[in-house]
Amino acid sequence: MAQKKQKTRTTKSKASTPKPKEPAGWVTWLANWPEWWSASGSGRMKQAFMILAGVGLIWMIWAGQQTGINGDDRMQNEYEQALISWYSTGGADTTALNLPKTKMHYYGGFFEVISGATNRMLGYDNPDQDGYHAVRHFWNALFGWTAILFAALIVGALAGWEGAIIGFLVLFLSPRFLGHGVMNPKDIPFATGYIMSLYYILAWCKSMPKPNWKLLAGLALGLGMALGVRSGGLILIAIFGLFAVLHFLSSRSASPVKGLFGQYLKWGLVPVLAGLLITLAFWPYALQSPIKNISASLSELSNYGVNIRLLFNGDMVFAQSLPLDYLPRWVLVTVPLFVLTGWLAGLVLLPGMFRRFGTIPMLLLGFAFLFPFVYVMYKGSTLYDGWRHMLFPYTAGAVLASLGIIHLYRQFGSIRWMKPAVLGVVGLMALDPLSFIVRNPALSYVYFSPLQGGIQGALGEYETDYWGISVKQGIEWLEAEGIISEGMEEEVTIASNFGYQLDKYLTRFGDKVKPVYVRYRQRHDADWDYGLFQSRFIDGSYIRQGSWPPGPTIHTIDANSTPLLAIVKSPGSAAFEGITAQKQNRFAEAIPFLEEAIQLDPTDEVALTSLAFCLINTGQADQAKIALDKTFAIDPENLTAANYLGLYHMNRNELEPAIQAFERAAELQENNFFAYYYLATLELQRNNLNIALDYAKKAVATNPRFKGAYELAASIFDRMGDTGNANAYRNAASQVK
C-alpha cells in the first residue's frame, strides 16, 4: 500500500508540473548541450587521470632540462632582460618599448616577465649563466603541460574522466606539440592561453546566467595570457563574443528570463576587461597606449617581413610566397596517425558527434581549430618553421580528435569486439610517436609520421631541427670526447651555423674555446678546428644526394638514426686560405690552396665553386668547367655554381647557353640579383632593350644596394632615349654606398 500511495503522489506531481514550451527549429538544435562533467566516470578513472597528468608533468620538466636552446631564444632573452629592467627601474629604462631590430616589443611579455622575474630571484642576471635557460625551460614545460591539461579537461567535461585520459594522451603523444612544449616560449604560452580560454568559454556558457567568480577569473586569466603573449589573442575575445551571443539566443528562446541580456552583457564584459588588465600588466608597450599600440602590434605581426628560404616537399621555397598546401601538408606528415583517425572518424560521424557532445561545444571547437588555418592560408600569411605558428589551434584540433576516437568506440559499443578493437588500433598507432618521444626526449619536435616514412623519409624533403637545439648535444659530445674541457690549455675554435646557441654553451669553457658563426655555404670564411653544422637552409637535393653530412664528419647527433647535426673536423686551413685570397681578387694565388683543400676533401662543394671562379678569372675555362661539373655532381642545385656556369659561357661568348644558365640560376632562387644583372647585360648585347630593362629592374629590386644594377639600368634607358629615367637611376646609384 505504501508503495502504491507513493506512486500515486508522484504521478500527481508530474501531472501538476507545466510542460515547458519547446523551442522551435534551429534553436532546438543549438540548445543541445550535454551536462558539464555529467559523464564523470568512476573515482578510479579520476585518480588514473591525476596520476597520468602528474607523470606527464614530471616528464616534461625533465625533458625541458635536456633540450637545447632554440634559435629564437636570443630575441626572447633580449626582450626578457629589457622587460625586467623596465619593471625594476619603474619604467625609467624604456628599452622594452622599442626594439626595432627584433620588433619584440610588439609581443606581450607574459611569459618573459614570469621567467625573467624567476631568474632574477634566483640570481641569474644574464643568459650566459648556466641556470638561466634551465629556468626558462622549466616555465616553458609548465606552460606546455598546462595546455595539455586544459585540452584534456575539455574532453573530460564532454566525455567523462575516461575521455580526459584520452584527451591528455592525444596531445601529450603529439611529439611536435610536446617538443615545442618544453622549449618554445613564443607559441606555447599563446597556445596555453588559447585552450584555457576555450575551456572557460564553454564553462561560462553552461553556467549562465549565474557564473561563479572562479570561472570568471579563469576566463580572464586565459584571455589575459593569450593577448599578453601575442596580439592575435584578440581572436579569443571575438570567439567569446560570438558564442556568448549564440548561447544567449538559444537560452532566451528556450526559457525567456527578464533581464537576461543584461546578465550576459555584464558577465561577458567582466572577464574581458579583467583579461585586458592582465595583458597590460605584462606588456609595457601596450600599456603606453592600449588601443593604438595593440592595433599597431596586430598590423605589424600580420605582415611580418621574414622571407627566408625553406625546405618544403623537397624544394626550396620562400616564406612570403609559399604554395597553398604548405600548412596542410606539414600537418599531414607530422601529426600522429591516431590524430588523423580521430579527425576522420569525427568527420564521417559528424551528426552523431553533435548529438553526443553538444552543438555549441562542437561548433566552438571546430571554429577554434579550423578558422585560424583557413584564415592564414586565405591571407597568404608569412609562415616558416613548419606549422609551429599554428600550435594554438592544434590544441582544439587535438580535442576534436579525442572526441572522434571516443565517439567511434561508444557509437559501436553494442558490438562486443568493437570497443577493444578501436582502442587496440589507436593504441598501435600511438606506439610510433611514443617510441619517438622516449628515444628522443630532447628532440621530439622533429617527429614525422609513418605517412612520410618517419624522419628518415623527411630528410632532404622537409626541415628537421630548424631551431638548432641539437647544438647542445653536439657540445656535450665534444666534451665527452675530451676535445674541449674547462681549463684546457690549447685553443680550439668551434664553428656553427647556429651562433647564439654555440656562444652560450661555450661560455663556461673560457677563452681557450672560441665560438665562430658561419653559414654552411660560407663555412670556409673562417678558420676553425671543429664545426657543428645543421642542415637548415641547405638545398634538399644536396641532402638527398648524400652530400650531407659532409665528408669530414666525425660524428652526428641523430633522431631515430637520422642525422640532425654534423660534427665536422676541419681537414686544414687550405680552403680558408684559398677563399680569403679569392675575395681579395688574388685568383692565381688562391688556386693552389683550393686544389689542396679539394684533395683533402673531394666533396667540398664550397672549395670547388671557388676554384671554378678563380679558374674563370685566370682564363682557364676548361678546368673551370670540370670544377663546376664536379660541384653539380655533389650539389645539383648549387646556386653559386649555377651563377658561375653563366659566367663560364659568357667568357666564351656563348650567349644562348649563358642566358639558359642564368635563367636556371634565377629559378633556383627568385631573389638572385646576380643572375638578373647578367641576364640584363646579355639581353642588352642582343639589343632586347625592354627585356634587358626588366631584368635590370629586378636586380635593383632584389638588391637595392647593388650600385652596378642602377648604372646598368641607366645605360639601358640611355639606349632607349629616356634621359629622365637614366638620370634618375644614375642619381640613385650615387646614393648607394
Work out the number of other CB atoms within 10 angstroms of the CB of residue 181. 33
Q: Is the pLDDT of residue 292 over 80?
A: yes
Q: Is the pLDDT of residue 11 over 50?
A: no
Q: Which helix (H) or strand (E) holds 470?
A: none
Percent share of the chain, pLDDT over 90: 81
Q: Is the pLDDT of residue 383 over 90?
A: no
pLDDT at 129: 85
User: Residue 17 class from Cβ within 10 Å (0-12 exposed, 13-18 middle, 19+ buried)?
Assistant: exposed
State pLDDT tens for residues 508-542.
999 999 999 999 999 999 999 999 999 999 999 99
Work out the number of other CB atoms within 10 angstroms of the CB of residue 321. 10
Q: What is the mean pLDDT of residues 6-29?
A: 41
Percent share of the chain, pLDDT over 70: 93
State pLDDT tens for residues 704-715.
999 999 999 999
pLDDT at 171: 98
State pLDDT tens for residues 313-353.
999 998 888 899 999 999 999 999 999 999 999 999 999 99
Nearest partner of 204 among 133, 262, 291, 268, judged by Cα: 268
Phi, psi of 494 (to 5 degrees): -110, 125
**Which has the higher per-residue pLDDT, 132 or 13?**
132
State pLDDT tens for residues 65-120.
999 999 889 999 999 999 999 999 999 999 999 999 889 999 999 999 999 999 99
Q: Is the pLDDT of residue 24 over 70?
A: no
CA angle 83, 64, 486 (to 5 degrees): 85
| Cα 429 from Cα 450, distance rounded (Å) | 10
CB-CB contact of 176 with 455 (8 Å) = no
pLDDT at 464: 96
Q: Is the pLDDT of residue 137 over 60?
A: yes
Q: Is the pLDDT of residue 2 over 80?
A: no
16 Cβ contact list (under 8 Å, min separation 6): none
Q: What is the mean pLDDT of residues 140-164?
A: 95
State pLDDT tens for residues 550-571.
999 999 999 999 999 999 999 9
**Which has the higher per-residue pLDDT, 382 or 42?**
382
Residue 18's pLDDT band, with cuts at 50, 70 and 90, is very low
User: What is the reported pTM?
Assistant: 0.89
Sheet holding 492-496, edge to edge: 513-517, 492-496, 530-534, 562-569, 553-559
Residue 254's pLDDT band, with cuts at 50, 70 and 90, is low
Domains in the chain, CATH or no CATH each = 39-439 (no CATH), 471-569 (no CATH), 584-735 (1.25.40.10)
- Please give the torsion angle defined by the CA atoms of residues 200, 227, 362 and 178, in that order, rounded to the nearest 10 degrees: -90
What mean pLDDT, rounded, does the chain reach?
Answer: 91
Q: Is the pLDDT of residue 672 over 50?
A: yes
pLDDT at 565: 97
C-alpha distances out from residue 641 to 75, 496, 534, 589, 631, Å: 34, 23, 22, 21, 7
Q: What is the mean pLDDT of residues 641-667?
A: 95
- Please give the torsion angle defined by the CA atoms of residues 665, 667, 673 and 678, in that order, rounded to the nearest 10 degrees: 50
Q: Is the pLDDT of residue 31 over 60?
A: no
Q: Is the pLDDT of residue 412 over 90?
A: no
Could you tell me if residue 487 is left (phi over 0), alpha (psi between -120 and 50 degrees) or otherwise beta?
left
